[in-house]
Amino acid sequence: MRGLKQRQFLKDPRYRSVIWIDPTQVRLQLGSKWPVGRERLNRLERFVPGALLGPLRAPIKHAEPFAIPAHHFSAAMLVRETQRYRRIADALDHADALQDSLWFHQMRTQLRDTGAAYYKTRALRSEAEILAFLREDLLGLVESMRENGFDGSRTGYESTAVIMADGSLCKTGSGNHRFCIAKLIGLDRFPLQVVGAHEGWVKTHLPPSPTVEDVLALLPAVEAHNSAPAPAGDHVTPAPEAPHGTARPRRAGSRSANGHGAG
């Protein structure tokens, strides 16, 4: 078990740990896909200068174990209560008046305070650029996903998740905007790359020294467990049926799913 690392799944060129699930079934978000490494880095930051800590970040992330200690899951929160989800939901509610949306107001405040609003590393230097981003990138992505679902031929499978003790999934890592959009518009299928699991699930379902193949053999059951009807309380708006791409995707840099930049 000690030798099984997250990177063995992340670096698989065949994306064998990707499963297609009902996004409304994934109710929790853990945040970082490196919870163990993040904890180690937080401890080191207390007494190691930044210049010395930098070179340690990559090795610590590369050492991230597949089996995640139970205490890390106490930090999980409901996806629909995250700022990202609320911000996107509010923007959809204000699709005809984006200047009244929460995301626009937050970006405008940042623009006034610092001279630029940022989406990831992208600088937006005017209110017009902010509105264009929300209208063309965010709403453009929403419309594309409504019409086509998640097009696996146009983007990499960046969205990651970990398996909880009961076999349900907890969202982690990248691709969070697309995942939130999928929940909000009611897509019934969305790809998540499994990169880790609660130590309790690992002990219950895997042999003492598991291999990648041992994990992959159990993923169809995990996929089925997370593809049931939506639980009560999740807000979704039904979307029209759409084909789902299954071809091996290309890596897409900063471009999001379906060719838009708000992923």
Please compute the mean of the pLDDT values over residues 216-235 and round it to a whole number: 77
Predicted confidence band at 250 (pLDDT cuts at 50, 70, 90)? very low
On whether the pTM is more than 0.75, the answer is yes
Domain positions in the chain? 7-30+63-259
* pLDDT tens, position by position, 141-153: 999 999 999 977 7
Beta bridge partners of 117: 124
Predicted confidence band at 229 (pLDDT cuts at 50, 70, 90)? low
* pLDDT tens, position by position, 170-210: 999 888 999 999 999 999 999 999 999 999 999 999 999 99
Give the pair of three-digit tokens for residue 28.
């929790």
